[in-house]
Chains A and B, each alone.
Chain A
Amino acid sequence: MTALLRYQAALLLRSHRWLPPLLLYGASMAVGVQGGQPILDCAGWAAATLLPVTAWLVRVCVTNEPSAARDCSAAAAGPWRVHLAAVGVALGAALLLAAVGVAVVAAVGDPHSTGRRAAVPVGSAAAAGLAAAAVCALLGTAVGALCNRPLLRSTAWAVPSTLLAAFVVLFAGASPANAVVTGLVTGSRTGVVSIPWLPLAAAGALAAGAVAVACALASRRT
Chain B
Amino acid sequence: MRLTGVGRRYGLGGPWILRDVGLDIPEGSLLRVEGANGSGKSTLLRLLAGIDAPSTGRITGRPRTAYVPERFPAALPMTAGAYLTRLGRIHGLSRAAASRGALEWLERFGAAAYAGTPLSELSKGTSQKVAVAQGLMGTPGLLVLDEAWTGLERRSRALLDDEVRARVAAGARVVFVDHDPGRLAGEADAVLRVEGGGVLPLPAPSRNRGQAPGPPRRAERARPSVIVAEPPPGAVLPPDLPGTPEAEPAGDGAVRLTVAAPHSDALLRALLTAHPPWHIRSLTPAEAADPDAVSEASHP
A residues apposed to B, CB below 8 Å: 3-4, 6-7, 10-11, 14-16, 65-66, 68-69, 71-79, 219-222
Is A11 in contact with B76, judged by CB distance below 8 angstroms? Answer: yes
Closest 8 CB pairs of A and B: A75-B67, A3-B89, A14-B77, A219-B53, A69-B74, A75-B49, A7-B86, A66-B74
Main secondary structure of the interface of A (DSSP, over half): helix
Q: Is the Cβ of B77 less than 8 Å from the Cβ of A68?
A: no
Chain B, interface residues (CB within 8 Å), range: 20 to 34
- Chain B residues whose C-beta falls within 8 Å of the C-beta of A76 in the assembled complex: 64-67, 87, 90-91, 138, 140
A66's partner among B10, B65, B76, B82 (CB-CB below 8 A) is B76
Instruction: Note all chain B residues with C-beta closer than 8 A to A16.
Output: 77
CA distance A61 to B131 in the complex (A): 22
Instruction: Name the one of B52, B68, B78, B82 contacting A72, with C-beta atoms under 8 angstroms.
Output: B68
State how many angstroms separate the Cβ of B3 from the closest Cβ of chain A.
15
Set B10, B50, B66: member contacting A78, Cβ < 8 A: B50
> Which residues of A lie under 8 Å from residue B71 when comparing CB positions?
68
**B177 interface residue (CB < 8 Å to A):** no
Q: Which A residues are CB-close (under 8 A) to B77?
A: 11, 14-16
Contact of B90 among A3, A11, A15, A220 (CB under 8 A): A3
A59 to chain B, nearest CB (A): 17
Q: Are B50 and A219 in contact (CB under 8 A)?
A: yes
CB distance from B56 to the nearest CB of A (A): 12
Contact of B51 among A3, A11, A15, A219 (CB under 8 A): A219
How far does the Cβ of B70 sit from chain A's closest Cβ, in whole Å? 9
The interface residues of chain B, by DSSP majority, are classed as: loop
Query: Would you call A6 and B46 a contact (CB within 8 A)?
Result: no
A180 CB → nearest B CB, Å:
35
**B73 interface hit (Cβ, 8 Å):** yes
Q: Is A68 touching B90 in the complex (CB atoms < 8 A)?
A: no
Q: Are B65 and A222 in contact (CB under 8 A)?
A: no
Instruction: Verify A71–B53 contact, CB threshold 8 A.
Output: no
Contact A74 B131, beta carbon cutoff 8 Å: no
Partner of A7, one of B10, B68, B89, B144: B89
Contacts of B90 on A, CB cut-off 8 Å? Answer: 3-4, 7, 73, 76-77
> How far is A49 from B78 in the complex, measured between Cα atoms in Å?
31
Given the known interface contacts A7-B90, A219-B53, the answer about A75 and B65 at a Cβ–Cβ threshold of 8 Å is: yes
Q: Do A222 and B74 contact each other (CB < 8 Å), given the known contacts A10-B86, A73-B90, A75-B67?
A: no
Q: Which residues of chain A come closer than 8 Å to B82, judged between CB atoms?
A: 10
- 25 A-B contacts, Cβ less than 8 Å apart? A6-B89, A7-B90, A10-B86, A11-B77, A11-B78, A15-B77, A66-B73, A66-B76, A69-B72, A71-B46, A72-B87, A72-B135, A73-B90, A74-B49, A74-B67, A75-B51, A75-B66, A75-B144, A76-B64, A76-B66, A76-B90, A77-B90, A78-B50, A219-B52, A219-B53
In the complex, whether B258 has a CB less than 8 A from a CB of chain A is no
Query: Cβ of B135 and Cβ of A74 under 8 Å apart?
Result: no
| Interface residues as binary, B67-101 with A (CB distance below 8 Å gives 1, 0 otherwise) | 11101111111100010001101110000000000
Closest to A12 in B: B77
- In this assembly, does B126 line the interface, its C-beta being within 8 Å of a C-beta of chain A? no
B29 within 8 A of A: no
Taking the closest CB of chain A, its distance from the CB of B209, in whole angstroms, is: 29
Query: Given A68-B131, A79-B50, A222-B52: A73 and B87 within 8 A (CB)?
Result: yes
Q: How many angstroms from the CA of A69 to the CA of B50 in the assembled complex?
A: 14
Closest Cβ neighbor of A4 among chain B residues: B90
In the assembled complex, how far is the CB of residue A194 from the closest CB belonging to chain B, in whole angstroms?
Answer: 43
Chain B residues, Cβ within 8 Å of A221: 10
Q: Does B134 contact A (CB under 8 A)?
A: yes
Asked if B76 contacts A69 (CB within 8 A), the reply is yes
**Considering the chains assembled together, what is the distance between the CA atoms of A78 and B62 in angstroms?**
11
Determine the distance from Cα of A147 to Cα of B144 in the docked complex, in whole angstroms. Answer: 32
A72→B134 contact, CB < 8 A: yes
Task: Considering the complex, give the chain A residue whose CB is closest to the CB of B89.
Answer: A3
Q: Knowing A10-B78, A219-B51, A222-B51 touch, does A71 contact B86 (C-beta < 8 A)?
A: no
Interface hub of A4, A68, A222 (most chain B Cβ within 10 A): A68
CB atoms of B52 and A3 under 8 A apart: no
Report B-chain residues with C-beta under 8 Å of the C-beta of A3.
86, 89-90
Q: Please state if B76 and A71 are interface contacts (CB–CB under 8 Å).
A: no
- In the assembled complex, the Cα of A49 lies from the Cα of B65 at a distance in Å of 42
By a CB distance below 8 angstroms, the chain A residues around B46 are 71, 222
A72–B45 Cα distance when bound, in Å, is 12
What chain B residues lie within 8 Å of A4 (beta carbons)? 90
Given contacts A4-B90, A11-B76, 9 further A-B pairs with CB under 8 A are: A6-B89, A69-B76, A71-B67, A72-B66, A75-B65, A76-B67, A76-B90, A78-B50, A219-B51
